[in-house]
Structure 1
Amino acid sequence: MTDTGTNDSGLLWVGTSWKMNKGIGEARSYARALADYVGQADLSGVQPFIIPSFTALAATRDELGDDSPVLLGAQNAHWEDEGPWTGEVSVAQVKDAGAQLVEIGHSERREHFAETVATTRLKVAAVLAHGLVPLLCIGESADVKDAGESSRFIMEQAAGALDGLTAEQMGRVLIAYEPIWAIGESGRPATVEELREPFDALGREYGGRTRGLLYGGSVGLDNAEDLLGIDEVTGLFIGRAAWRLAGYLRLLEIAAAHQEAIG
């Protein structure tokens, strides 16, 4: 599969997490059709990635193939390599199943499964130690936004998770800004103006130092192009709009057209 090094300046990252959806059969069908598409399409400057559930990781890897341009991710992983952690999965295990990227700190993990800044820091370190790509998710609630504290809040989340990294390690990290008020079925799509300040703050601190700054939150066919036009945004992390293959392929096409237009 695609190399997970850092030689990817200028790439647009376009990916989706399936969350707790799709069985092995559905995952195989999606991945098989995606592999056929990327084998023929011109996606110059676009890095696709998909993040299935743990049970479908190995099957999805098999359908994508060893030399796929699509990166495969896991939705979570424990920071310890092994031990008495019932119900957990280690970075070593998801790597063995085919994962090249690990999602860390999604707001649902923080809210429902006691994910903290401290545990995100441990997980980022573990993912880096195994040579995989950490995809760190950050985002604030509507209350924090209404108080005018969005940038401060997300920057503290990011700084806590990335504390102590070397420049080389930082260069392997992806950050996905996903405001909680904009994600999920009940989320309100963010406007471009609402996103400028958070991405300005992220860009000042992490632009050029990390592998990419992604946006996620009610991303769809109607707003993807506008979101990609925001300064400092270098990719999209998509939810339900990409759960159907047709939607994901169209979003990849939008990203490829955007790359071609900016030359």
Structure 2
Amino acid sequence: MTVWIGTSWKMNKTVSEAQRYTRTLLAGLDGRELGTVQPFIIPPATALSAVAGILAGDRRVLLGAQNAHWEDDGAWTGEVSVPQVADAGARLVEIGHSERREHFGENDETVRLKVAAVLRHGLTPLLCIGESAEVKDAGRSPEFIVGQASRALEGLSGEELARVLIAYEPVWAIGAAGRPAGPRELAEPFSALADSWGHRVAGLLYGGSVAPENAAALLEIPHVNGLFIGRAAWQAQGYLTLLDIAANTINQELRTS
């Protein structure tokens, strides 16, 4: 079973900073035994090509883009297409992050169109879903996130679904003001996701205030196949630490199973 451990840098890092991070990451991976752990990094669009150049020929790290339009080309000022991010080296595309939904008007329909576009061009969609604190407090988290995923993945074939990653990122748990979620309160949402999608998609990830202190416990939650990490992985050494934790956790689970 592949365990996906990745990080999105959001609107951070210049090209030179991204290159330095990537070189440090690759050097740090030498000699490390990650087993079934699959690292992925998602730089800003300005650094995609530069990071791809450093990763060229090294298949250990999957490169992603933070966004892409659903059309292949056209009069979409300021946007980038899936063919463009693929040409820059991306093999994965993050879609539907709550910040995109809140600040840039993305909705279930545009997210659905983007998932389809990413699949159409042979890349991996990383579909982000998550509920607000109000939804959580009302006890509607499971039905809300399952509904989000269902609308985004509507009409896809079984073969297409098998290439999709879903990242559950509760809005109340992400960002600088986010509150770390405990395994107990994540058990029900992941159980609901697994019942609907766990046997059909490539993996179910968790993201939201992930840190070295809670990474192992999060990976031990039933049905969690990986972690989508923010600021705790924005320095290469921090990311390497989290990769080690993931590899050790999975190895321990294998030894005790």
Interval containing the TM-score (normalised by the shorter chain): over 0.9
- Stretches of structure 1 that go unaligned for 5 or more consecutive residues are 1-9
Distance in 1, matches of 2:72 and 2:249, equals 40
Equivalent residue for 2:53, pick from 57, 62, 70: 62
1:1-53 deviation per Cα after TM superposition (whole angstroms, max 9, x unaligned): xxxxxxxxx11100000000000000000101111222321111100000000
Pairing 1:1-263 to 2, within 5 Å after superposition: 10-263=1-254
1:208-255 deviation per Cα after TM superposition (whole angstroms, max 9, x unaligned): 210000000000000000000000000000000000111100000001
Letter in 2 for 1:147: A
Contact persistence 2:29–2:240 (CA under 8 A) = no
Contact persistence 1:124–1:134 (CA under 8 A) = yes
**CA RMSD after TM alignment:** 0.7
- Stretches of structure 2 that go unaligned for 5 or more consecutive residues are none
Contact persistence 1:101–1:133 (CA under 8 A) = yes
- What secondary structure is seen at the aligned counterpart in 2 of 1:205? helix
Letter in 2 for 1:242: A
Contact persistence 1:35–1:68 (CA under 8 A) = no
Provide the TM-score with structure 1 as the length reference: 0.95
Cα displacement (A) at 1:147: 0.6
Distance in 2, matches of 1:222 and 1:209, equals 31
1:164-188 deviation per Cα after TM superposition (whole angstroms, max 9, x unaligned): 0000000000000000000000000
- What secondary structure is seen at the aligned counterpart in 2 of 1:79? coil
Cα displacement (A) at 1:65: 2.0
Distance in 1, matches of 2:202 and 2:253, equals 20
Letter in 1 for 2:72: D
What is the number of equivalent residue pairs in this alignment?
A: 254
Provide the TM-score with structure 2 as the length reference: 0.98
Distance in 2, matches of 1:203 and 1:102, equals 22
Distance in 1, matches of 2:24 and 2:35, equals 19
Contact persistence 2:173–2:209 (CA under 8 A) = yes
Contact persistence 1:184–1:217 (CA under 8 A) = yes
Contact persistence 2:25–2:237 (CA under 8 A) = no
Distance in 2, matches of 1:30 and 1:63, equals 10
1:5 aligned partner: none
